[in-house]
Structure 1
Amino acid sequence: MSQAPENALELNIELRWSDQDLMGHVNNARIMTLAEEARIRAMQQLQRTAGSDEPFEAVLRTSNTDFLAPIMYPGDCVVRIWVSKIGNSSFVMQHELSQNGKVAVTVEAVVVMFSSATQAPMQITDNVRKALESVSASSAR
């Protein structure tokens, strides 16, 4: 059953033939690639929501994956993604990867805002914070 709030972003990702393993399900390493693709697309959308030219530079700090059921090829994977926590320079993104209406994989990722100029973490700006809050679990209540 989905734990995603109503305001979670929902992205559809078409599975590729090369995503599958010998048993016909999506390989566990490819699952991480699907989560990464969804996270990047979500952050691009959030940057547009932030509505400024400021860079939305971020790096992945940690990622925890829970495999609940296989995702099978061929088909699509629906990824619901939302923010569960916002700190000073980092935030936590939750991912649900589903197929045929069933949650198959959950991913929790800690993402850190990062300055490529200084090569160090940077504070989350007000505009970025507002964009993150637009898809946070707490704002859906």
Structure 2
Amino acid sequence: MIKYTYPLPLRWADADAYGHVNNAKFLQYMEEARTRMFQEMLPADEAGRRQHAFVVGRSVVDYRAPLPYRDAPVDVNVWVVACRGARLELGYEIRDADQMYAEATTTMAAYNLDTGRPRRISEAELDFLARYTDS
């Protein structure tokens, strides 16, 4: 399986009073990696992006270890678990070479923001997502 990897720099503001990255920040890390992965797939113009949006319906995060604040980035890996119709499920790992900090999934819907309705995932989007699919 090919994973999209985004080396995400940590920010001092991400840390809690214990010096660990706050667990709520993990959702933002996933969003950042997913957004960067999707940049190549989504239209360049605002109108096109509105008509070919993806919205999150569910996120599940399994925290494996505390992530201490540090200068070194952490890797956020993203891949496609399932994709069909209007539904997209992505898998994530937040890790470095020695430690897994979290594993997660998001279930998303392909969505047209102009009509306020789900839409089918296009052939071009399926072709792009196939790069990151195990099957």
- The TM-score, its normalising length taken from structure 1, stands at 0.85
Q: How far apart are residue 28 of structure 1 and its match?
A: 0.6
Aligned mates of 1:100, 1:20 — CA distance in 2: 21
State the shift of 1:99 in Å. Answer: 2.8
Provide the C-alpha distance between the structure 1 equivalents of 2:41 and 2:98, rounded to a whole number of angstroms.
25
The 8 Å contact of residues 71 and 99 in structure 1, kept in 2 or not, is answered as: no
CA offset at residue 46 of structure 1?
Answer: 3.4
Structure 1 residues 1-141: aligned runs within 5 Å: 5=1, 7-47=2-42, 55=49, 56-74=52-70, 75-138=72-135
Question: How many Å separate the matches in 1 of 2:16 and 2:97?
Answer: 19
Structure 1 residue 42, shift from structure 2 partner: 1.4
Give ranges in structure 1 of 5+ residues lacking alignment: none
> What percentage of aligned pairs have identical amino acids?
25
Distance 1:18 1:62, change over 3 A: same
Q: For the Cα contact (< 8 Å) 1:89–1:124, is it kept in 2? A: yes
**Is the 8 Å Cα contact of residues 68 and 105 (structure 1) preserved in structure 2?**
yes
- CA distance in structure 2 between the partners assigned to 1:31 and 1:80 by the alignment: 12
Structure 2 gap segments, 5+ residues each: none
AA aligned opposite 2:6: L
Secondary structure at the counterpart of residue 137 of structure 1 = coil
What is the rounded CA distance, in whole Å, between the counterparts of 1:99 and 1:46 in structure 2? 26
CA RMSD after TM alignment: 1.6
Q: Could you report, residue by residue, the CA deviation over 1:60-81 in whole angstroms, capped at 9, with x for unpaired residues?
A: 0100000001111113110110
For 1:33, what is the secondary structure of its paired residue?
Answer: helix
Runs of 4+ aligned residues of structure 1 deviating over 3 Å after TM superposition are 45-48, 53-56
Cα deviation, 1:76-129, whole Å, max 9, x if unaligned, reads: 110110001012001100000003432110110001111011101000010001
The alignment of Structure 1 onto Structure 2 pairs a total of residues equal to 129
Tell me the distance in 2 between the aligned counterparts of 1:82 and 1:46.
14
